[in-house]
């Protein structure tokens, strides 16, 4: 897989997630989307010749894009004023959690691909 193909797959995944989220989405759904995106990223990044740190950074940037696209749909309207204030901290928390999950997913995705 080329970097352009992976980028296109991630963009398509995020677009589909955003379309699905437009009618509302739960926090659990956001978490499931993050894990699915990480699996997609790991599978694609394994075939791209980059250093490990660069691969991890790329995957976490993709998670950030996904968060920016769908997380707001998981917030009830009455909590939106609070969401505006806490969104940056929640985004960093999600990306940090995704970084930890990424380390756990590596062996699983690689084993499934073999």
pLDDT in tens, 11-32: 999 999 999 999 899 999 999 9
**How many structural domains is the chain composed of?**
1
The answer, yes or no, to whether residue 114 has pLDDT greater than 70, is: no
State what percent of residues in the chain have pLDDT above 90: 65
The predicted model scores a pTM of 0.87
The answer, yes or no, to whether residue 61 has pLDDT greater than 90, is: yes
Other beta carbons within 10 angstroms of residue 47's beta carbon come to 12
Per-residue pLDDT averaged across 90-104, rounded?
Answer: 91
> What pLDDT is recorded for position 88?
97
Which structural domain, as residue segments, surrounds residue 60?
Answer: 3-113
* Residue of 94, 91, 112 whose CA lies nearest to 102: 94
């Amino acid at each position: 897989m080329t970097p352009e193909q992976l980028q296109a797959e991630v963009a398509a995944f995020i677009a589909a997630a955003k379309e699905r989220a437009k009618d509302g989405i739960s926090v659990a759904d956001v978490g499931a989307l993050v894990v699915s995106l990480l699996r997609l990223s790991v599978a694609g990044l394994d075939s791209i010749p980059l250093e490990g740190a660069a691969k991890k950074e790329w995957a976490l940037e993709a998670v950030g894009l996904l968060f920016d696209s769908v997380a707001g749909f998981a917030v009830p309207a009455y909590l939106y004023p609070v969401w505006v204030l806490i969104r940056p901290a929640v985004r960093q928390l999600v990306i940090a959690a995704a970084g930890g999950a990424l380390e756990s997913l590596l062996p699983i995705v690689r084993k499934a691909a073999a």
